[in-house]
Amino acid sequence: MNNLKFGVLACGLIGLVGCFLPYLSFGGVSFSLWKTHSEPGQAGQVYMVMAGYAAGLVMGALAVAKAPMQRWQSIVALIAFAFVLFKQRTVLPFDIFKLEIGAKLMGIGGYAGLIFSIITLAKPESSK
């Protein structure tokens, strides 16, 4: 159970990378989440999603740099990944996996990050 912090870190990174890859495509034109930040009123939404993934990434990196993963780090990562999934909500929870590769990576990062965070919170690492 001591390596779950790498999962939290990887999920944050995967989600951030997904923000820059194609999310939707209409008529041969692809849109990434990052491209939508220039639309009126969308910049805040994009930055909030990216901040959620970044928070998960930072909590994983802090745990890797100075083990063990602290309970507060697990809680922050859990809140960050839950927030990201809330912001990306669709009609059905897993509809995000029917879209382009960026959406799939963001979905994997969000759902897997939430699971890793719950596990690290339920079973904290032991000090060595």
CA 75-53-37 angle, 5° bins: 140
Per-residue pLDDT at 26: 78
Residue 13 in any domain: the answer is: yes
pLDDT(124) > 70: yes
Mean pLDDT of 20-42: 85
In a domain, 45, yes or no: yes
Structural domain span for residue 92: 4-122
pLDDT of residue 82: 96
The answer to whether residue 27 sits within a structural domain is yes
Q: 127 lies in a domain? A: no
> What's the start-to-end Cα distance of the chain, in Å?
13
Instruction: For residue 50, tell me if it sits in a domain.
Output: yes
When divided into structural domains, the chain yields a total of 1
Q: pLDDT tens digit string along 51-105?
A: 999 999 999 999 999 988 999 999 999 999 999 999 887 656 778 888 889 989 9
